[in-house]
Structure 1
Amino acid sequence: MTSTGAIVTAVREEGSSVAAAGNHIDWLIDNAETYSRLLESLRSARRSVRIAQLAFDADCAAYAGGSLAGSPSDDVAIAELLIDLARNRGAEIKILLNATWILNTARQLRKFFAERGVPEEQIEVRGLSRFPHFMHAKLVLIDEREAFLLGSPFVNSYWDDGAHIPFDARRPSRELGGRPLHDVSAHLRGAAVRDLESLFASVWDAAAPAQSAISRATRAANASASGARQTGVRVVADAPDGILPSRPDGTMQMLGELLAVIARARSFIYIEQQYLTSRIIVAALVDALYRNAALEIIIVLNQNPDLTAYRGWQNAQLREHTLLSHPRVGVFSLWSTGAHPEHAGVTRINQLFIHSKVIVVDDEWAAVGSSNLDGVSLGDYGADFASALGRSVFRGVRNVEVNLVIDAGTGMQSDSLLTDPIVTLRERLWREHLGWPRDSLTVRAHEGWLATWRDVARANARRLGSPARIDTTGAMVGRLLPYSPRAYPREQLADAGITLDPARLALCYNPGWFGVFASPHWIRNIF
């Protein structure tokens, strides 16, 4: 699924809006911003709404206010808005969800719509049941004219805004332990929407009880017109064998994109990811460091991922390749602080869960989408396993994934009109994480970007680790602390020289042994 379109101009604004010949892209940082734009577009829908999701809870709400205000109501519950569109606009609504035996919200959502008296002809919910493969792509397509490439499932635990306050009662603890969440989505218009519509149609057909041979042939003919990898804007999709009719079995398109861009990296690679367990990707990063003595790699990761084995796998990769101590690699975590509402002078601190899947290389290439840097997103879950048994049992297990790639080319041959949206994305993310103004993040310093990141992380550790009472209005600049492979959040803080003290610094997410080593939060997701 590839399309190309040359960007002719970019509007470098706070809203991250990019006008393009054939494409228009808005970067949406964190889900309050995403939901606000999504609801605005849904309310203007006239003909059709197509949704692809990992999970969709009927009570998922887009809150009317920010972290300290607003409450869910019918007009901001996504499912309720869809009912209104079906009844009052006659919009054709199709919802495609993962429906494997360990994660299936399709049944409950069908039941919800049925209880509200909505016939299936108005809102059809279809489940993709291909266990052990998952439907992991997250899309909303409206009237065949605009698309949202979403970061998060429609589940309330994933709601947050840019304030990322350490605790919010509207953010349930069942999936992520109540941690604030950072994510990135994209709002698209133009040529990329056609590719996403075609992708949705292919997976929708694959989820049908009996696939239409004519439909599959049509999808294959349409998809075969896509071009090879080149500069421009393109949709990159992967799926289990047999779902994308134009794709040969075993194709790993996003993995190929990543290996190619890592190999060409000259200045810096920025990785902001939920997981980093892919042995193939880590090996490629190490090779790039050896080939180019000027290359810096900046990585932002979760210290306590939400899947059972991933913390150990991730740390094993970081240790095996000495990435935590490499002079040209910086690995960081994100944290949130705020005044305790009940205890004066006490600051609360919490891990900020990273759910985004973002990679930026040399300000010339960027990817945003659903693919994690793990085997199951990149084409082969078995590749993450150290044992021959694991590699054999899980060989070829892969998710349905979709990503947006912007490729400006390299060096003197790069297209400056394509680099603008890439720089805009990086600057918005770094301003949030570093707490620095945009002007400080436009031109790379002589000593590189990594020194700035390390300085900010160390300064935050000093502020929080000082025995003096913490100024709750400025406990941290940005969100950065150094990454620690230790198991428990309190130990991770201790590695940075930060001691918890109920009289000055209180930890919100403080799991015990079972929470760390069994990661039970994801168990709710599988029933």
Structure 2
Amino acid sequence: MTWFVDYLPVTTGNDVRIYVDGREYCSDLHVAINEAKSSIFLTGLHFMWDFRLERIGSRLTGARTELAWVLANAGMRGVSVYLLVNQFWTTEHDIIRPIDNRPDRLKEGTWSAHSGDGQGLHRRLLVEQGGLYNYLPETYRLFSALAQVPNVNCYTDIHPQTWGFGTHHQKTVVVDNETAFLGGIDLTYIDGDRWDTNLHQTYNRNTSRTERYWHDIHCRIRGDAVDFVRDNFVQRWNHGNLHRLTKYSNGRILATPVPSGPRRPNLEEVKGAKSYPKPTGKENEQDRLIQIVRSMPADYAREGAPSWNESKEAWERSCKDAYLIGIEAAQRYIYLENQWIADEHIWAALLNSARKNQNNPNFRILLMLPHHPLRSAGAGRNQELFIGREIEALVASLGDRFGMYSLVQGPHSNAVPTVAQIYVHSKILIVDDCWALIGSANAGGISLEGHYPHGDRPDTELSAIILDKSVVSDFRRRLWSEHLGNPVSTEYLPSDADRFQTLAHQRAHDGQKLRFFPAYGQIRGASSPSSLPSNWHRMAELYSVIVPSFPGSIASALPVGWIRPSFRVSVKPSPPSFGDRCLYQWRCHLFDKFPDSTPTRIEMLSLNGEAVDDFTVYSSAYISDAGARQIERLMQDEAWGVIECRVGLVSWDKPASPKRAISVKYPCRFIRRSRISELSQELRRLLPLWNPK
């Protein structure tokens, strides 16, 4: 039986503790940092200076629990603290929060008009859709709070996927080279407070940004496996794309590259010199082994790659290999709990496992997902965005032995409000009560292969494969007991797995916690979709708008060739989340004499470069390079344009063409570069970042 990636070592003799939800992890981390003697290494997608590690009484009497205070205290004690935080792009600046928290009413923030390809503008949409307002300013606040503290070193790290969207997504802490924490929990309030309890209540939680509850998994490891988490940090610190942050008098925050070569301080000397065995393929559930796996993009810190990584490829994909290995090995059950399950190879492996175990009456596959997934998390290569066919195939193979579920807190209707959901952010896979994968890598999206069109630049991720019957069975028992609301058996019983189906059927009517995932419930006929209001199309055509990625005040003076404008359609009222979903068709029409001339069609593309002239899932699009050249070629000094988005509804689970669509339009006027000098004074006033050469 193959349980491990064959090109990475395995370790024995580790002690593991698995945290279900954030409270216990944050408490143990607080104690570990306060007891640190020599060093603390931290990586994360984001940190906030005022994130409180303790909310319900600290085990350290009288201690302040805000992250910046805890780290500063460690530095003052002589502990060396090294902090690496993701930064999306070098040109990332402060985006002012939307008016009344409405993304369609953004104030005019500062954002760089990146070269000539529109990246600096349409990236703003990604920040909006991901709820990442004030992401960089919050990082700067943390760095500023620690700037004068001795022994504390802070950098941002920028992913090599420079075209679209790539992140350093690892969430690790290594204390004294002896204890490692890893998993899905960032120490932040951005997009949701990560501190939560098994009860998922608002008490003691920061709900100023969002009221969503947060379900996540993390773990603590002590033993030889810590060496690999530490070596990963050393590789990134010494050879990554690191930057310092500087804030200027005008409020802009800019990143300055740290010179390449050995960092100061240089951490090479702490790298492990031990040798570890590779897996033999004969491991079993009694061996108690751990293997650290990663996603690591090509062209990133390759010269500093740990010697134990013997991957034949320029990029490391062991997180994806781990998912496929675990699913392939399953003989009793698969439990996959994830923020995003979209990788088509993972879906194919699930279907293959279902068919292989079809005649085993005790075999089960259970998937747990957010009720409202974060769409930007799945904007990766090799993805299945419509999963209806995959769900139908698994149902055909296993019937009720396959189920998909989500979590919602409190009474609600079928159209579950986002604030009521318990957001499933976990990245775990449990197999046969003896094998588990826990870490930062989603089962799809940009975690495993990266953003379109590349297949070798995934997010940086780090997870742990745990082969240990006692640890994994106890983990499954605690996790299922929380979801089901009552204790389950220490040993896996198919009847415990079947309780998910039973309770989801019941709670679809009584408004309790466990629900069917919408597409699954619809396919199974266990839930009926919300009915669409009879006047929805009329209301949507009246109130929906197209939002440009530049200040609306410059729409009548848009210099083609300097700016690639991008556009996002905001559909109002939103269709019911449980039934139909939107598809979008984009057009740009150019008029020589608006509106009395025949329009010319101008090419538009999605933000990841795909065609949008037919209905797609892309709610944002931009004028392509070819389209901009066509506009300049056809117009004289100026021309009128109309951006049109047709929005149609289709069944949530099937990618059919909509039978009826609304039309949303946005007029704008294009000008030649040669006329920019005539309008320079106006443009300087309306677009502060514009700087003519």
TM-score normalised by L of structure 1: 0.73
Q: 1:95 to 1:426 in 2, by over 3 A?
A: same
For 2:425 and 2:455, the matched residues in 1 are separated by 25
Cross-structure match for 1:118: 148
Contact (CA 8 Å) 2:11, 2:277: kept in 1 or not? no
For 1:220 and 1:115, the matched residues in 2 are separated by 29
Cross-structure match for 1:201: 234
Bigger CA drift: 361-370 or 310-319? 310-319
Shift of 1:432: 0.2
Cross-structure match for 2:40: 49
**Number of residue pairs matched by the alignment:** 436
For 1:237 and 1:350, the matched residues in 2 are separated by 33
Contact (CA 8 Å) 2:11, 2:224: kept in 1 or not? yes
Shift of 1:281: 0.5
Q: 1:30 to 1:221 in 2, by over 3 A?
A: closer
Return the structure number with greater helix share: 1
Shift of 1:114: 3.6
Q: In the alignment, does 2:16 pair up with 1:25?
A: yes
Q: Per the alignment, in what secondary structure is the counterpart of residue 513 of structure 1? A: coil
5 Å-filtered alignment, 1:272-291, equals 272-291=337-356
Q: 1:117 to 1:360 in 2, by over 3 A?
A: closer
Shift of 1:74: 7.5
Cross-structure match for 1:77: 66
Cross-structure match for 2:406: 333
Cross-structure match for 2:294: 237
Q: 1:115 to 1:40 in 2, by over 3 A?
A: closer
Q: 1:362 to 1:296 in 2, by over 3 A?
A: same
Shift of 1:336: 1.4
For 2:386 and 2:517, the matched residues in 1 are separated by 14
Contact (CA 8 Å) 2:332, 2:364: kept in 1 or not? yes
Cross-structure match for 1:524: none
5 Å-filtered alignment, 1:18-417, equals 21=13, 23-65=14-56, 75-87=64-76, 89-101=77-89, 108-114=138-144, 118-119=148-149, 122-132=151-161, 133-156=166-189, 157=192, 158-165=194-201, 167=202, 170-172=205-207, 174=209, 177-207=210-240, 208=242, 209-212=259-262, 222=273, 227-228=278-279, 231=283, 232-241=289-298, 242-243=300-301, 245=305, 246=307, 247=309, 248-293=313-358, 294=360, 295-308=363-376, 310=378, 316-322=386-392, 325-326=395-396, 327=399, 328-337=401-410, 350-378=420-448, 380-381=449-450, 390=452, 393-407=453-467
Equivalent residue letter for 2:206? R
Contact (CA 8 Å) 1:332, 1:483: kept in 2 or not? yes
Contact (CA 8 Å) 1:47, 1:143: kept in 2 or not? yes
For 1:146 and 1:289, the matched residues in 2 are separated by 38
Bigger CA drift: 273-282 or 144-153? 144-153
Q: Per the alignment, in what secondary structure is the counterpart of residue 387 of structure 2? A: helix
Shift of 1:216: 9.9
Shift of 1:212: 3.3
Shift of 1:201: 0.5
Bigger CA drift: 292-301 or 273-282? 292-301
Q: 1:496 to 1:187 in 2, by over 3 A?
A: farther
Larger RCO, structure (CA 8 Å, separation 6 or more): 1
For 2:275 and 2:316, the matched residues in 1 are separated by 14
Equivalent residue letter for 1:152? I
For 1:349 and 1:461, the matched residues in 2 are separated by 18
Contact (CA 8 Å) 2:48, 2:67: kept in 1 or not? no
Q: 1:290 to 1:112 in 2, by over 3 A?
A: closer
Q: 1:229 to 1:136 in 2, by over 3 A?
A: farther
Q: 1:442 to 1:210 in 2, by over 3 A?
A: same
Q: 1:320 to 1:423 in 2, by over 3 A?
A: closer
For 2:18 and 2:450, the matched residues in 1 are separated by 29
Once the two structures are superposed, residues 299-355 of structure 1 have per-residue CA deviations (whole angstroms, 9 ceiling, x without a partner) of 00112112347499666124345157441310011111279xxxxxxxx98211001
Bigger CA drift: 315-324 or 147-156? 315-324
Taking every aligned residue pair, what percent have the same amino acid on both sides?
A: 24
Q: 1:308 to 1:515 in 2, by over 3 A?
A: farther
Bigger radius of gyration among the two: 2
TM-score normalised by L of structure 2: 0.56
Cross-structure match for 1:4: 10
Q: 1:493 to 1:243 in 2, by over 3 A?
A: farther
Q: In the alignment, does 2:483 pair up with 1:433?
A: yes
Once the two structures are superposed, residues 90-117 of structure 1 have per-residue CA deviations (whole angstroms, 9 ceiling, x without a partner) of 1110001112226795665455444566
Q: 1:114 to 1:331 in 2, by over 3 A?
A: closer
Shift of 1:192: 1.2
For 1:219 and 1:36, the matched residues in 2 are separated by 27
For 1:482 and 1:145, the matched residues in 2 are separated by 41
Cross-structure match for 2:670: none
Q: 1:240 to 1:257 in 2, by over 3 A?
A: same
For 1:400 and 1:433, the matched residues in 2 are separated by 30
Unpaired runs of at least 5, structure 1: 7-20, 340-347, 383-389, 408-417, 465-475, 498-510, 521-527
Q: 1:486 to 1:131 in 2, by over 3 A?
A: farther
For 2:75 and 2:445, the matched residues in 1 are separated by 39
Contact (CA 8 Å) 1:51, 1:94: kept in 2 or not? yes
Q: 1:229 to 1:195 in 2, by over 3 A?
A: farther
Contact (CA 8 Å) 2:371, 2:408: kept in 1 or not? no
Contact (CA 8 Å) 1:303, 1:333: kept in 2 or not? yes
Contact (CA 8 Å) 1:2, 1:195: kept in 2 or not? no
